[in-house]
Chains A and B, each alone.
Chain A
Amino acid sequence: MEPALLPWCSLIVLTALCLILKADLPWLVTFPKEWTLPLAAGVNAVTDTVVTVVQPAFRALSAALEAPMRGARLVLVWLPWPAVMLAVAALALKSSGVRLAVFAVLALGYILVAGYWPQSMSTLSLVLLAVPISTVLGFALGVLGHIRPGKCPVLLGALDLMQTVPAFAYLIPLLLLFGFGPVVGLIASAIYATPPMVRNTMLGLDRMPPDISEAGLMSGCTRRQQFWHVEVPTALPQILVGFNQTTMAALSMVIVAAIIGGFEDIGWEVLSSMRKAEFGQSILSGLVIALLAILIDRLTIGFARKRSTGPTAAMTWMTNRKLVMCLLLAVALAIAIRVLLPDETLLPASGLRMQVGGVNQWLLGLVRDYAWFFNGLRNGVLYCLLLPLRIGISGAAVPAIWGVAFSPMANVIYAVAALLASALLLHRFNWRPALALLVAGTLLYTGFLGFPWPVFILGIALLAFQVAGLPLALFAAAGFLLILVNGLWGALVQSLYLCTLAVLLGLVIGGALGVWAAYSERVSRILKPVCDTLQTMPQFVFLIPALMFFKVGEFTALIAIMLYAIVPPIRYVEHGLRHVRADVVEAVEQMGATPAQTLFQAKLPLALPVVMLGLNQTIMAALSMLAIAALVGTRDLGQAVYVALGKADAGMGLIAGLSIAFLAILADRLIQAAVAGNTSTI
């Protein structure tokens, strides 16, 4: 017997023991309220004292930032739309040619016609301010990380936190520090949008080909010349990719920050129309966000990536000089319009959104007419997947829910079947899948809520220990204990089960699509723009269709999370399968393998490291969507954060937010260690 198996055996015994004692010792399953520690209150006490001391400084900073923000907003709102359109179209021509320019004009035209122009400009002004802050800060930190590799672990840890703690969690302390106002949104988006810039700057500088840097040195560059004339230009494409990601993150966060702001911007429009159940408006405004996101993404990525076919005719025609001329022309046009027609807003008197009553009716009718379908789907998934996972088969198999009760005989049959399947796996493969099946079987029986927490914590710690060593095991145990003593165990379990289900479904559906795309050029061509669009979309937008068809509830959250998390499996599975070493595949085919055998026995195992990276991204996406999905009614950690935000409970918000970050970081480290272990054994 393998030594690694032994602790698992004792864990299984412990599980059985816990399950038997469950009736007598309920604390094994539900962590008693009396045992929780008032950590959140402590954090609040500390924050309150700290905030009162430092508040004046931050309020001053807030006031200082307020001025440029107001200025940017005023300028953008002041600019008449023809000038903006001209400038953006010129930039689009320079960035990637005629098609993008046409798209830009159409998108801006739609925003205008839909009647969301001032709100969009408001949003843009926040983005325009947040992006330079994040870019400069991110570049500086990236350079620091590059020249001082010793500081890297600290820096990377900080970046992980900045990206995984949901914004709602640090909005409260930010609100306390900076006071109510759009500045908070600005700071939040700067925090959230900086990490991609740092990472890409570091990546670009670290990946510098040695020949190029040596050529620079041999040309006699001083340290400064070497940096600005050799290293930065060579790393520039990667840095620009970082700029693109930073811009997208800033846009996404500006829209989320609108939830607390209630300013005249586009995020607020979406939220308020969603709250009023005006689906017509929420779709119109959601589309505005989507178009803005796609436009900004394509614009920045066009500058970042050289196209393989060389610049198009339009791109070469639009020289730097012509671009500057166009921009100056736009400014002149703006001034001319404002001087000649001072009272004219030039905006359509009644936007599309004023006339969407009919659309609303139609949509509501649609939802009503097909309610049997949507409700059926929702109830089916709810009763067959969500409930069994949450409260287990033992909990769901009661007359009230499934209409049948499990007889003791059925329980025995279930146990025997699970054991048999596990034994079969043990016989066919090794103990790992057998154990996994056993765990899954138990989990399905007791449900996430009914699973004893000591076993859960020990199990994850053991897994972390075997995959990545003692530090990660301690990290896992400490993190879970912290969540436990804060009384968040219930929310944690809710999050886990929601995320697990979303990730599994995303993996199955996305993986299948990815396989299909890997085999069919046409599917690949169709899926690529869809994936691009889904990925540029701010998380907020995913709530709209889910909410429209499925009403408030866990199932809606599940759909929204899944929609957001489905792109990585599609991408990574396709990429992994397409880039499997051709010689291996040829060898396998030559041996006479059927296509299915080639896929399952050669291609998928070889693509596994890449697929695992996709899994990692899926989990990250699902966890980051958790806080947003709380808006449609869940009972998980995201909701804990959101509730804390409502109550201005900084301590609870931070702890719940850190819990989500902890889950994300733990999952990330586990998977990376597993991938590293896998590739090193191969």
Chain B
Amino acid sequence: MNTAAPRIKLACRNVWKVYGRRPAYYFDSRGYIIEPDALAERLRSEAHLPAVVDATFEVATGEIFVIMGLSGSGKSTLVRCLSRLVEPSAGEILLDGRDLLKATGKELIELRRHAMGMVFQNFGLLPHLTILGNVAFPLKIQGKPVKEREARAREMIALVGLEGRETSFPHQLSGGQQQRVGIARSLAVGPELWFLDEPFSALDPLIRRQMQDEFLRLQRMLKKTIVFITHDMAEAFRLADRLAIMRAGKIVQIGRPADIVLNPVDDYVAQFTEDMPLLRVIRAGDLAAPLNGAAVPDESIAADASLEDLIPRLASGVCEFSVKGEGAGPPALLTAGAVLAVLEREQTRRTRS
């Protein structure tokens, strides 16, 4: 959405993770180009498991980057490679331009203490600590004094809306509340980079929806750089600024949600995204064209409004909208024709399926 080149926070270049007897054997020679599919094929035939195949992507500062795939597609392994909970077999991971894989044990601990936060699918709360103790835990590990860390922890607990539960123990909380604690804990050190590994997958659908809203609210406030893992397509399309779809360890497509539903790279992605309602995924900004000197229409709409929101106004007879650009950019033009074209496309998708 941002037209100016965004600052890259995290870059992942040709990262591989291979499980097997001797994965290093396949990556020892420098300087020759690896053909990913061929190598993955060879690894599989030689009793190795390529969990992540040649993953390359960049995450801009303040962006929500969602990695989506079915279970076993390697997305959890990939996010663990990014935080080096799992040691990648090959590749480069650049955090603010520094190669994370070259960091020593001590540097890595420092990075984890200050630069990264992570939320886990099963919460990963320490059963013997209270909510306050859990949220303050990363600060305790850093050796911060009790008063300071408890004040900070209380602040975080208030942020996720759990005031009054400070002295409870994790097992006394519901799943949704436990995950709020997990979120508060991961934010306690004020990291810029935030990993969320299927954070809402263990929750009921209704709670999941609430937590997604909560998450978006937090992100609007905090503007973290986020890598979010999920297998839930609706969740992915709802939250993502950009989206990567993984299949059998490989990233098959990266793009904005609208790009992916409008231009799926292959049948797999097409089938995968078939049930996503276009009107909800595509936003006004995605269809806007430059004005090219035409007059600015009276009706205006925000770039991130979904087409669904537009329908009632179209029905009342408005044919053209001006779409407000980001920042100081000039407004763009959205015509009813473009929206109707999407509607038509949705119709053909429906009848085909």
Contact = CB atoms under 8 A, between A and B. Distances in A.
B112 A217 contact: yes
Given A225-B141, A229-B141, A218 B125 contact: no
Contacts of A220: 109-114, 138, 141-142, 189
A589 interface: no
B117 A234 contact: no
A215 interface: yes
Interface string B128-157: 110000000110111000000000000000
Contact of B120 (A214, A221, A230): A214
A211 B112 contact: no
A230 to B, nearest CB: 7
A219 B122 contact: no
Interface in A220-245: 220-222, 225, 229-230, 233-234, 236
A209 interface: yes
B121 interface: yes
Contacts of A225: 141
Interface string A192-214: 00000000000000000101101
B109 A222 contact: yes
A233 B169 CA distance: 14
Contacts of A234: 126-128
Contacts of A215: 118, 120, 124-126, 182, 185
B120 A219 contact: no
Given A217-B112, A218-B116, A212 B141 contact: no
A531 to B, nearest CB: 28
A209 B122 contact: yes
Interface centre among A211, A219, A230, A234, by most chain B C-beta atoms within 10 angstroms, is: A219
Given A225-B141, A234-B128, A236-B128, A218 B122 contact: no
A57 B141 CA distance: 44
Contacts of A216: 126
A211 B120 contact: yes
B73 interface: no
5 contacts: A209-B124, A233-B128, A233-B129, A234-B126, A234-B128
B124 A212 contact: yes
Contacts of B83: 218
Contact of B126 (A217, A218, A222, A233): A233
Nearest to B137: A219
Contact of A214 (B114, B124, B141): B124
A225 B117 CA distance: 18
A212 B126 contact: yes
> How big is chain A's contact interface, by range?
10 to 19
A10 B127 CA distance: 59
A221 B128 CA distance: 17
Nearest to A230: B126
A22 to B, nearest CB: 56
A568 B128 CA distance: 32
Nearest to B84: A217
Q: Which 10 pairs show the lowest CB-CB distances between chains A and B?
A: A220-B113, A215-B124, A211-B124, A219-B138, A220-B112, A211-B120, A218-B118, A233-B128, A211-B122, A212-B124
Contact of A211 (B113, B121, B186, B195): B121
B112 A218 contact: yes
B292 to A, nearest CB: 50
Contacts of B122: 209, 211
A216 B112 CA distance: 10
A217 B120 CA distance: 12
A218 B116 CA distance: 7
> How big is chain B's contact interface, by range?
20 to 34
Contacts of B47: none
A233 B127 CA distance: 8
Majority secondary structure, B binding face: mixed
Nearest to A306: B171
A233 B170 CA distance: 14
B130 to A, nearest CB: 13
Interface of B: 80, 83, 85, 109-114, 116-118, 120-129, 137-138, 140-142, 182, 185-186, 189, 195
A613 B122 CA distance: 31
A254 B317 CA distance: 94
A231 to B, nearest CB: 10
Nearest to A236: B128
A214 B186 CA distance: 12
Contacts of A212: 124-127
Interface string A326-348: 00000000000000000000000
Nearest to B172: A310
Contacts of A217: 85, 112
Nearest to B121: A211
Interface centre among A209, A215, A217, A236, by most chain B C-beta atoms within 10 angstroms, is: A215
A209 B195 CA distance: 19
Nearest to B106: A222
B129 to A, nearest CB: 8
Contacts of B111: 220
B81 to A, nearest CB: 13
Nearest to A220: B113
Contacts of B137: 219, 229
A232 to B, nearest CB: 9
B85 A221 contact: no
A664 to B, nearest CB: 35
Given A220-B112, A221-B141, A234-B126, 14 more contacts: A211-B122, A211-B123, A212-B124, A214-B85, A215-B118, A215-B120, A217-B85, A218-B83, A218-B186, A219-B138, A219-B185, A220-B110, A233-B129, A234-B127
A672 B66 CA distance: 46
Contacts of B129: 233
A19 to B, nearest CB: 53
Contacts of A209: 122, 124
A350 to B, nearest CB: 50
B128 A219 contact: no
Interface in A58-110: none
B115 to A, nearest CB: 10
A204 B344 CA distance: 59
A20 to B, nearest CB: 55
A574 B254 CA distance: 55
Nearest to A233: B128
Nearest to B111: A220
Contacts of A219: 112-113, 137-138, 141, 185, 189
Contacts of B110: 220
A233 B118 CA distance: 21
A218 B141 contact: no
B125 to A, nearest CB: 7
A216 B127 CA distance: 12
Contacts of B195: 218
A236 B128 CA distance: 9
A230 B123 CA distance: 14
A215 B138 CA distance: 9
Contacts of B112: 217-220
A222 to B, nearest CB: 6
A236 B111 CA distance: 29
Given A209-B122, A211-B122, A225-B141, A218 B128 contact: no
A357 B208 CA distance: 75
Nearest to A308: B171
Given A211-B124, A212-B126, A225-B141, A218 B117 contact: yes
Interface centre among B111, B129, B137, B195, by most chain A C-beta atoms within 10 angstroms, is: B137
Contacts of B138: 219-220
Contacts of B120: 211, 214-215
B131 to A, nearest CB: 14
Nearest to A232: B128
A351 B195 CA distance: 70
A14 B181 CA distance: 71
Nearest to A212: B124
Given A225-B141, A233-B128, A234-B128, A218 B123 contact: no
A214 B82 CA distance: 13
A222 B111 CA distance: 12
Interface centre among B121, B126, B182, by most chain A C-beta atoms within 10 angstroms, is: B126
